[in-house]
């Protein structure tokens, strides 16, 4: 207890304590703000990884469409409803019925 009492009566202890409290709560770059920035950074890194994966996937699809004409024709027919001159295309739209109870 005497050892602890010696530090409590020292003004350096109070100055250091005040400095630590200031840095944790009141400074412009306080610990709460740093925690928020760290979580934002983690979120952005996850988004960056997702978008890089999507770009790689799209690049692979584009190169597949550039090399395979059958795949390109299938894509054009399914996505844009394109047809040959002597064909007819029928689009079937199914309505989902929601029953009320």
Q: What tens-digit pLDDT sequence spans the chain (101 residues)?
A: 666 777 677 788 888 888 888 888 887 788 888 889 999 999 999 999 999 999 999 999 999 999 999 999 888 888 888 888 888 877 788 887 767 66
Which tokens sit at 96?
Answer: 């989902």
| d(C-alpha 23, C-alpha 31), whole Å | 7
| d(C-alpha 86, C-alpha 89), whole Å | 10
Contact 5, 11 (CB under 8 A): no
């Amino acid at each position: 207890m005497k050892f602890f009492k010696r530090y409590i009566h020292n003004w350096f202890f109070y100055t250091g304590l005040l400095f630590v409290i200031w840095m944790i709560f009141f400074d412009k770059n306080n610990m709460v703000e740093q925690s928020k920035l760290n979580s934002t950074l983690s979120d952005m890194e996850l988004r960056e990884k997702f978008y890089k994966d999507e770009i790689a996937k799209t690049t692979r699809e584009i190169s597949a469409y550039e090399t395979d004409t059958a795949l390109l024709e299938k894509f054009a027919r399914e996505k844009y409803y394109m047809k040959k001159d002597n064909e007819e295309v029928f689009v079937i739209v199914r309505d989902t019925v929601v029953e009320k109870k």
